[in-house]
Amino acid sequence: MTERTDALQRLRRANEAAVLGELRRSGALSRGELKDRVGLSRTTLFAIVSDLLERNAVVEQPAPDAGRPRGRGRPALEISLNSRGAELIGIDLQRHHIHVVVANCAHEIVGRYSAPVPADSQAAERAAQAIRAVEELVRNENISLAPVQGIGLGLPGFVQNPASADRHTMTPFAGHVAAELGRHFGAPVLTDNNSRLAALAEVTWGAARGFDNAVYLRWSQGVGGGLVVNGSLVHGAHGAAGEIGHTSCDPEGKPCHCGGRGCLEGLISVPALLAACADRGVDARDAEELIGLAADGRPEVSDVLRGAAVTAGRVLAALAAQVDPECVVVYGEPAALDDLVLTPIREQIAALSLPSAPRSIEVRGSTLGGDAAALGGVALLLRTTGQDLAELLDRPATAGGHGDGVAR
């Protein structure tokens, strides 16, 4: 019985995809035209169209010539995609900022929103911030918020694999935020680490598109990462895979908030770079000024950034020897300096990561920027079947016993 139900659901999804694809290619069509082009029976086509109308995924309007005299009967109506109808929501809820994107039934991004948020808010306020951000986006962009099919939520820290049997086991903080979002929008919520989601987005739409194996380095106020192996995100046993910033480069180094010592984050994060420049007599206020000074050729700043890039390159080289990626994507302010930052990373990977192996590893700057993790939330939803989402909605999230993880 279950196999038959699954087969019927797959067939319905395929038929729905065919209808949406034809509307995307041809524009507005009458029901009769749509039936003939897609090759579905009248009953099946009308059932799919009715469901899409109920979800605000499509709209039905009089044909352009419907106002002309045409004899008796109802005016001709045409079905078209609702280009402003949002079904999928991706959210990246960082410590200091929130990024939101929404996608329509055709999987096109129809709206984006970014805003600063107060740091160190409690879970209830974080959930309220996320809800307000989505509603602000919908209002500002005049988007029709269709019945939401799913929400992909990115958070800092350790987050379990959302596709595993214990996908609802997460930190109490993450569990509360996910539960509140799900309640408010009446939709299933998939939660993952935001750097991992950014990696997924870069493979799906960004700098690593076309590659099944990629490493993503997030290099900004904090340092994080994500691994995509054979087309899938790697989570690890405890949701800690890809925490590149917490690779120890010096076991005798400074203590890190993760509990380790001499972590990469403590050596190359933007605050660490600003401090290193200050030690050399150059006071830069923020990352933008730091990168500007380097671009202008200020030698003290260039030396600091080049040294940090070499350190990052060594860590990435060691990682590349283990996971064998086709592409390394670097996101963050330093990544804007290709020759000064990305070139040393390329050199370290070429020299230290199995240099005799017959392979080539691309090193590229991110093309998705700060929206990457929110886009990754949408990508995560697109890789999850409708049945899996339905099951998730039926089983509310619960808080688990994992620690709060590493916040960035």
Q: Is residue 405 part of a domain?
A: no
State whether 136 and 156 are in the same domain: yes
**Which residues span the domain enclosing 58?**
2-81
State whether 218 and 359 are in the same domain: yes
Q: Is residue 339 part of a domain?
A: yes
The rounded distance, in Å, linking the Cα atoms of 334 and 365 is 10
CATH classification of the domain holding 89: 3.30.420.40
Residue whose token pair is 């109490």: 172
Residue 252: its pLDDT value, please?
93
Residue 351: its pLDDT value, please?
96
The rounded distance, in Å, linking the Cα atoms of 280 and 323 is 37
Tally Cβ neighbours within 10 Å of residue 354.
Answer: 15
* Number of domains forming the structure of the chain: 3
State whether 257 and 305 are in the same domain: yes
Q: Is residue 162 part of a domain?
A: yes
Angle, CA of 146, 147 and 148, to the nearest 5°: 95
The pairing of beta strand 58-62 with beta strand 189-193:
unpaired
CATH classification of the domain holding 17: 1.10.10.10
Quick one: three-class SS letters along 273-307?
Answer: HHHHHHHCCCCCCCHHHHHHHHHCCCHHHHHHHHH
Q: Which helix (H) or strand (E) holds 31?
A: helix 31-38
Residue 401: its pLDDT value, please?
28
Residue 405: its pLDDT value, please?
31
pLDDT 10s digits, 31-81: 999 999 999 999 999 999 998 888 777 888 888 765 545 555 566 889 988
pLDDT 10s digits, 216-225: 999 999 999 9
Q: Which helix (H) or strand (E) holds 8?
A: helix 2-26
Picking from 81, 97, 113, the residue at the C-terminal end of a domain is 81
Task: Name every residue whose Cβ is closer than 8 Å to that of residue 246 and which is 6 or more positions away in sequence.
Answer: 256, 258, 260, 263, 264, 265, 406
Residue 166: its pLDDT value, please?
46
State whether 328 and 393 are in the same domain: no
State whether 348 and 236 are in the same domain: yes
Q: Is residue 95 part of a domain?
A: yes
State whether 244 and 265 are in the same domain: yes
State whether 185 and 67 are in the same domain: no
The rounded distance, in Å, linking the Cα atoms of 259 and 135 is 38
Q: Is residue 90 part of a domain?
A: yes
Residue ranges of alpha helices (H) inside 73-191 are: 123-140, 172-185
Residue 90: its pLDDT value, please?
97
Picking from 81, 110, 127, the residue at the C-terminal end of a domain is 81
401 token code pair: 């016993």
State whether 220 and 351 are in the same domain: yes
Residue 2: its pLDDT value, please?
60
State whether 283 and 361 are in the same domain: yes
The rounded distance, in Å, linking the Cα atoms of 373 and 364 is 17
State whether 236 and 293 are in the same domain: yes
51 token code pair: 């469901």
Q: Is residue 173 part of a domain?
A: yes
Q: Is residue 408 part of a domain?
A: no
310 token code pair: 């070499």
Residue 366: its pLDDT value, please?
97
Compute CA 314 distance to the chain's CA centroid, rounded to the nearest angstrom. 26
State whether 353 and 247 are in the same domain: yes
From first to last of its 408 residues, the chain has per-residue pLDDT tens of: 566 666 777 788 788 888 888 887 888 899 999 999 999 999 999 999 998 888 777 888 888 765 545 555 566 889 988 777 778 999 999 988 999 999 987 778 889 999 999 887 888 999 999 999 999 999 998 887 777 889 999 998 877 655 543 444 467 788 889 999 999 998 899 999 999 999 999 999 999 999 999 999 999 999 999 999 999 999 988 888 999 999 999 999 999 999 999 999 999 999 999 999 999 999 999 999 999 999 999 999 999 999 999 999 999 999 999 999 999 999 999 999 999 999 999 999 999 999 998 899 999 999 999 999 999 999 999 888 554 555 554 444 433 322 233 333
State whether 215 and 352 are in the same domain: yes
Task: Name every residue whose Cβ is closer than 8 Å to that of residue 240 and which is 6 or more positions away in sequence.
Answer: 158, 405
Q: Is residue 279 part of a domain?
A: yes
* 346, 352, 356, 357 alpha-carbon torsion, rounded to 10°: -70
217 token code pair: 């380095």
